[in-house]
Amino acid sequence: MLSNRRFSVKITLAAAFAAGLLLSTGAIAGSGVTWETDLRRAKNPDTYGNVVMDRATRDSKEVKPVVFAHWTHRSKYSCKACHTDLGFSFKGRTTEIKQSDITAGKFCGSCHDGKTSFGVNECDKCHSYGTPRANGIAEKLKDLPKDAFGNKVDWAKAVKDGKIKPAANHDGTGELKAVEQDIIIPVTKFTPHPPDVMFPHTAHTVQLDCTSCHESIFKQKKGGNPEMNMMKIISGQYCGTCHAKVSFPIDDCFRCHSQPAAVIKEDEKKDEKKDEKQK
Ligand code: HEC
Ligand code: HEC
Ligand code: HEC
Ligand code: HEC
Ligand code: HEC
Ligand code: HEC
């Protein structure tokens, strides 16, 4: 058993934090928080990270929209393989794809060629929106380290422990070179504030290349993103580009807010007085 007690304590704390945050920022209306990123909605581990692609198929009588599942792909391929090399956007429903592109071996067709995986003629496997899906993430990924959130898989640990080796390139080859630099992002815009954030480059650069983030999401400078705040993150900007949708979700507050909380001076004084009395 994983320490469920520890998790439930964490979750309760997280919920209290979240409630405070939402109250303090005066509700969700107009904030850009959508159904997908609303923290009040329970998430299903089987469908966390799934993207419905319906740009071209929304009004089609011929086929259903496409459902793409990240968890079935991310054990084999890095984010870079698809997002940098094949041109899929980090924002759902924005990549313009036609069936003729797929038949020509672009986008999904780069791998769904009948050799690497099933071919372009198996229409219903991709065009599956609204059809009953074989779920069972828990069974299929049972050998990977567990987590309490998202897909209930600790993907970062799975890579670190070598349980999965997401390839750098879409042909299944290559490895990304990690950059080892932890950056502390102090939380300054809110009092009382949660613990400071630590951003680890290593866990990111084994799956993403520099251009995934620099400069499109983050200025490449410590303290260079002063406009960043928690509401923007929840609504899918900055860290929320990935963590509101595919990587471990925003609900897991203390995985980012991981720095020891500052000791509050007043309490220290009281503690000293207590100690003196006890002597
Ligand atoms: C096998 C290809 C593939 C891999 C690997 C992959 N993605 Fe994606 N990703 C996609 C596709 C396809 C979309 C949908 C794009 C669209 O609809 O325009 C997508 C969309 C997204 C979105 C937007 C989701 C939404 O609901 O708006 C995010 C965020 C994302 N990916 C992050 C990641 C991260 C982080 C990784 C690595 C852990 C990753 N992806 C790995 C193919 C992939
Ligand atoms: C490997 C996955 C995959 C397979 C297999 C596949 N498609 Fe698609 N198809 C897509 C994606 C992704 C889109 C873009 C969806 C969107 O943006 O709405 C698409 C778009 C379409 C469209 C929208 C209009 C157009 O011409 O682009 C039609 C129609 C279509 N597919 C028909 C088919 C048919 C028929 C088959 C089987 C012969 C098929 N697809 C097999 C992934 C697939
Ligand atoms: C980089 C290569 C690659 C790309 C790009 C890719 N796939 Fe796949 N896909 C695979 C492989 C390999 C498997 C088989 C995974 C396994 O069996 O472990 C797979 C499995 C699947 C499955 C069956 C498992 C499931 O999710 O239920 C579907 C459906 C699927 N892909 C849809 C898509 C769609 C739609 C796209 C494009 C939007 C796409 N794939 C892009 C390599 C890719
Ligand atoms: C997942 C997103 C992400 C990826 C991928 C990423 N970085 Fe960063 N990087 C950040 C963030 C966040 C910061 C801190 C910005 C801040 O403090 O406001 C940062 C800061 C930096 C800094 C500034 C450090 C300083 O002390 O001023 C450098 C240099 C840097 N990154 C290099 C890289 C390189 C090289 C790569 C590719 C190997 C890379 N980064 C990949 C998110 C990323
Ligand atoms: C472009 C996508 C992307 C962005 C932007 C991003 N991350 Fe991540 N992050 C990932 C991926 C992929 C992982 C691997 C684990 C996972 O997917 O759950 C990860 C993992 C982590 C981990 C876990 C490390 C470990 O070893 O357990 C932390 C902490 C983290 N991210 C913090 C941040 C913070 C803080 C920011 C914003 C400053 C941020 N991330 C922005 C994609 C992203
Ligand atoms: C993916 C990483 C990540 C996760 C998960 C996360 N935060 Fe944050 N949080 C940040 C970053 C980065 C900042 C911005 C720090 C700065 O620049 O001031 C921040 C700032 C904040 C602030 C300061 C006020 C503000 O708007 O900037 C509060 C309060 C906060 N977070 C609460 C939470 C709560 C509650 C949760 C869980 C529900 C949570 N955070 C989860 C990364 C994260």
**220: CA distance to ligand 4 center in Å?**
5
Spatial separation of the C-alpha atoms in residues 72 and 118, rounded to whole Å:
14
Pocket flag, ligand 3, residue 57 (CB < 6 Å) = no
Minimal-distance CA residue to ligand 2 atom 10:
99
Pocket flag, ligand 3, residue 66 (CB < 6 Å) = yes
pLDDT at residue 23, rounded to an integer: 45
**1: CA distance to ligand 6 center in Å?**
30
Out of 55, 60, 66, mutate this one to test ligand 2's pocket (max ligand atoms within 8 Å of CB): namely 66
Domain boundaries, the chain: 4-42+144-256
pLDDT at residue 144, rounded to an integer: 97
Minimal-distance CA residue to ligand 4 atom 40:
210
pLDDT at residue 277, rounded to an integer: 53
Minimal-distance CA residue to ligand 6 atom 41:
253
Q: Note if the pTM is more than 0.95.
A: no
Out of 75, 79, 110, mutate this one to test ligand 1's pocket (max ligand atoms within 8 Å of CB): namely 79
Concatenated DSSP letters of 127-189: S-TTS-----HHHHTTTSPB-SSTTSB-HHHHHHTTS---BSSTTS---PPPP--EEEE---S
Helices (H), the chain: 4-24, 79-83, 99-103, 123-126, 137-140, 155-160, 201-205, 210-213, 230-234, 240-243, 253-256, 265-278
CB atoms within 10 A of CB 275: 9
Out of 39, 187, 258, mutate this one to test ligand 6's pocket (max ligand atoms within 8 Å of CB): namely 187
DSSP 108: G
* Mean pLDDT, each 10-residue run in order, the chain (279 residues): 43 52 46 70 88 96 96 97 98 97 98 97 96 83 95 97 97 95 92 91 98 97 96 96 96 95 63 55
Pocket flag, ligand 2, residue 102 (CB < 6 Å) = yes
Helix (H, G, I), strand (E, B) or coil at 50: strand
**261: CA distance to ligand 4 center in Å?**
24
Pocket flag, ligand 1, residue 83 (CB < 6 Å) = yes
**5: CA distance to ligand 1 center in Å?**
33
Minimal-distance CA residue to ligand 5 atom 19:
204
